[in-house]
Every structure is written in C-alpha cells, then in structure tokens.
Amino acid sequence: MNPEGELRQMTVGPGLEGRRLDAVLAELLGDVTRSRVRGLMEGGRVSVNGAARKPAYKVRQGDVVELVIPPPPPMEPVPQPIPIDILYQDDALAVINKPPGLVVHPAVGNPDNTLVNALVYHFNELAEDGAGGEARPGLVHRLDKDTSGVMVIAKNEKSHAKLSNAFKDRRVSKEYLAVVYGTPYPAKGVWDTFFGRSPSDRKKFSSLVREGKRAITRYETILEAGGLSAQRIDLETGRTHQIRVHFADHNHPVVADTQYGSPRRVNSVTHPELRELVRGVTRQLLHARKLSFPHPVNGVEMTFEAPLREDMAAVLDLMEHIRREEKK
C-alpha cells in the first residue's frame, strides 16, 4: 500500500492496443469511472512506463500502467478549535482573513487541521446545514495553503448556491497583492492565455500550453525596489495557481514560491538588507487583498479588505524605505 493511497499496476495485453488510456483503465479497473480516471491523471497519479500521459494516449501492448488511488477524505470534518480571523458575519455568510500555512479543506496528506475543520467549529450552522456538501461545508472558493487573505464562507445552502453562481458568472471582484522578482514589462498589463496541466510535471500548471481553459490576469506595478516589485492583481478567471503560474511563466515568480520559483532567485535582490529579509521568508508572498460580491440575500454589493500578514508587510515596508532613500 502506497502511503498516498492504493497502488495498482497492470500491463496492457493484446486486443487493447490503440485505444485511449482513460477508457482502457476504466475497463480494466472496473470499480473506477472514466471521469475518475481522468481526475487521477490530472493529479499526476497515473504513469505509463514511468512517464505521465494524457487521457487520449493510445496504449500499446506491453505498456506498464501504474496509478495511485487516494483514500477518500472524511465525509464529515471534525470540528477543531483552530483560530480564524473573522472580518464580518451575518446569518447568511462569514468573511475571514485566511492565515498562510492553512490548507483549505481535507484531502490526501491533510485529513484534518484545515480551514474546514475550523469553520465547523466556529460556525455551528455549518455543521448542521453542511452547505456545499459534507466534505467542504461553506466553501465557495479557495486559496492556496500559503496564500493569505480574504475569503467568503456560505452559512447555508441558499447562500452557497447564490455565491457559487456569482463566482461562476464573474460577478465577484478579486484583488490580490504579490511581491515578485523583477518588474514585468510593461509595468501594467494583462495576460490572457490558455491554462492547463504542465506537460512535464502533472502536479504543476502552465500557461504555456497549446490548449486548455482561458486564464486572464490583470496586473499593475505599484512599487519597485531592490530587484523586487509589488503587484496589484485583478483576476477575471480563477484557475488553480493562476497568479503564481502567470508570473513565473513571464520570469517574475512570486517571492518564496518553492513550486514555481527557484531559491537561487533571491540572489537577484540587489539591496543587501532586503535580500537577507527575503531569505527568511517561508511562504509565497501572495495575499488576497480585497473581495467584492453581491450579498446572497439582498443583492447589495459588499467589499471587504484583509490586512497584510507581518511577513509580507515587513518586505513591503522595507521596499518603500529603500525607494524613499533612492529618491533623496
């Protein structure tokens, strides 16, 4: 048994060659649907002869296929007294400032100690209503583990449906703040690209693919100092890792992003004090700064801002100090 789930291995026999990989796997496994197979492939859990393949790959006789089927997460999250910063709440929703380092919902490798565990502890109505499903009650969107900032939580099914539709129909405005290496050119612009799984690493995403979903990121440089820049970002779409991928693919990775950046990039920071400060940063400097959406009950436009965490605020404060000194 693989620690990440059940490992299954099979060899493609005669009569199957030339067929799609996802169809063959679904047929051979019997207890896993074709859509589930595609989900496992997108998650980097399927390999053919040791290499990742797309669902449309045509299998050959003798191919050795391996896949890892993760154990299902607990259907009913256990309430845990994890502190959360509540910015606002009423009977329909709550708005929080998510801390960095907190996984949003239970999954393989993180069965508990997640934001969901905190939510069902702090909001009894979530535990009773299960808005949005038993596994992810209250969630209508998500932030990466090490991204901080504002999130809206639905307290009941009606609010969940209304808020989910608002996100789907792009009636939600999301503004982020990021500190990145270098400065994009032009200093204000928009990236409108395809977006999908990286062909070289199925656990990553890429905007350099030839086909995929559309991803639109608007950015504006609001501060430059010491080889870094602060970016105000508006998302028109909400793809997984979208900001991190777009900036990394344009050679301006988010500071301390270990998945899409390189630790050696810190050497490009030209100011000694700023460089040492950045060396001590332990998570990507990305913050969901502002969120605007129509209230699910009365439709009134609501806007919330989440204050910066100390690590990111310290870097920005030093950048502003350096900038002022340069202007003297």
- Which member of 144, 146, 249, 257 is catalytic? 144
**pTM over 0.85, yes/no:** no
Whole-number pLDDT of residue 188: 97
Q: Which of 63, 22, 19 is nearest to 40 (CA)?
A: 22
State how far the Cα of 172 lies from the Cα of 102, in Å rounded to an integer. Answer: 23
Domain covering 85-169 assigned CATH 2.40.50.140 in the classification: no
User: Which of 152, 77, 154 shows the shortest CA–CA distance to 120?
Assistant: 77
The topology under which CATH files domain 174-327 is Pseudouridine synthase (3.30.2350)
Distance CA 26, CA 319 (A): 54
Q: In the chain, which residue ranges form alpha helices assigned H by DSSP?
A: 21-29, 34-42, 115-122, 124-129, 157-168, 242-249, 272-279, 310-327
pLDDT single digits (tens) 3-53? 466 788 888 888 888 999 888 888 877 767 777 788 888 878 888 888 888
257 is catalytic: no
Least confident of 13-17, 251-255, 267-271: 13-17
CATH number for the domain running over 6-69? 3.10.290.10
85-169 and 174-327, same CATH topology:
yes
CA 185 distance to own-chain centroid: 25
Are 7 and 1 in contact, with CB atoms under 8 Å apart? yes
pLDDT digits (tens, 9 = 90+) for 210-248: 888 999 999 999 999 999 999 999 999 989 999 999 999
In one-letter notation, the amino acid at residue 247 is: F
The domain locations on the chain are 6-69, 85-169, 174-327
Give Cα separations from 218 to 26, 62, 196, 287, 318 (angstroms): 40, 48, 19, 15, 25
* Count of all residues that appear for the chain in the document: 328
State the average pLDDT over residues 201-209: 87
d(CA 220, CA 126): 38
